[in-house]
Amino acid sequence: MLAHLKGAGINVAKEGTRLRIFPLTDKEALKMSNGEIKDPGAFLVGKNLATRKNGLFDPEITGGLNGSHWSHIKLTTAIPNPMYADAIMKVLNITEAQLNDTIKGVHKIGGKTGVPAIVAGLKTLNVKTEITKLKKELKNAPPTNVNKLNRRIRYLQTLDNLELSAVDAYTMKVVPVLPPAFRPIYPLQTGDLMISDLNKHYRDIGTINIALRGAKNDLSTAEMAEATTSLYTSVKALQGFIDPVNYSSKKYKGIIKELSGKQALIQGAAWAKRQDISARSTITVEPSLGLNQLGLPKDMAYKMFKPFIIQDLKTQGLKAATALKEYQDKSGLAYNSLNTVIKNRPIILNRAPSLHKHSVQAL
């Protein structure tokens, strides 16, 4: 999940028990990248599934078919990061319609239009100066404007706290490319290839980016605006906010769509799975137990804690096969290990139906 969020331009940092999210800048994307993917349209050689140089599975850059290395696509021109469209609208004080019309080249900001107008607007924005100015406005603002001004101040204050400029936080010239392990390609029994949707999005971005790079000096202002709009929408599709720029009969999902929803990566593939070390039982009263204790049937505990019992036996010097035999024989040594491992591993008890936070407790 954290890798997918980074792929969508969201940086995640753990501070103690809390997770903090903030924009993934180009500098950070390059820092975690192992190299540039210069030909994102190159997947694999069809006959033998061999990797291709400078392609999405280049073994030197990405580590190959099951590689774990990040990489990146360098865009021909900087674009607003679609992930932060709301933030861009707040700090530039424009509406969604104005943002979209500017990107399409039919609305002007500061005498400019198209994607460059948004980038230029963010570049000229001085965060500290704007905060001071808005706080002065807030003192005499009519009640109808108070919420709007406070929202703008909050966005700007966040940038100030992160020590980021608006242009660094909200624009991108580098698209982080997830490691192949998170966007696999593998053959099916029919002979067809199962290709992760994300690979198709990277291909779309690459196709538009390479075409723009080769022709940008020959394009008119209107044509350049149209081309950069296509580049922007292809990145927006990768992130999962809109349908892809090009698709056949089957649409392919972006990163956020792969994460969200009941059938998606988190709820569908991770949380929905029944865990091996779980059990069901009837809750009964036992006055001899403390408030932070529960009584677990011995046979149930023996099954649930199997991997930890075997692990403990191995730390005592037993070989894996011997430890497994001790467990299967339900020896005294195995039950001693059960008593050892259970002391440091609380039971998470869920009293269904879970209608409030107190339905789930550690005991």
Q: Are residues 191 and 248 in the same domain?
A: yes
Q: Are residues 23 and 118 in the same domain?
A: yes
Contact 327, 333 (CB under 8 A): no
Query: If you count them, how many residues does the chain have?
Result: 363
Q: How far apart are the first and last CA of the chain?
A: 28
Q: Are residues 205 and 349 in the same domain?
A: no
Q: What does the alpha-carbon distance between residue 90 and residue 148 come to, in Å, rounded to a whole number? A: 8
What are 108-155's pLDDT values in tens digits? 988 888 899 999 999 999 999 999 999 999 999 999 999 999 999 999
CA triple 15-21-26, angle to 5 deg: 115
Q: How many distinct structural domains can be found in the chain?
A: 2
* For range 244-255, the mean pLDDT: 77
Q: Is 285 inside a domain boundary? A: no
Contact 116, 122 (CB under 8 A): no
Q: Is 287 inside a domain boundary? A: no
Give the number of other Cβ atoms within 10 Å of residue 117's Cβ.
21
Q: Are residues 105 and 212 in the same domain?
A: yes
Q: Are residues 98 and 223 in the same domain?
A: yes
Q: Are residues 169 and 259 in the same domain?
A: yes
Q: Which domain holds residue 71?
A: 2-125+165-271
Q: Are residues 10 and 86 in the same domain?
A: yes
Q: Are residues 264 and 218 in the same domain?
A: yes
Q: Are residues 91 and 25 in the same domain?
A: yes
Residue 60 has pLDDT above 90, yes or no: yes
Q: Is 150 inside a domain boundary? A: no
Could you tell me which of 326, 298, 295, 297 has the C-alpha nearest to residue 312?
326
Tokens of 134: 């808005």
Domain end call among 228, 255, 271: 271
pLDDT higher for 44 or 38?
A: 38
What are 187-246's pLDDT values in tens digits? 877 777 888 999 999 999 999 999 999 888 888 878 888 889 999 999 999 999 998 876
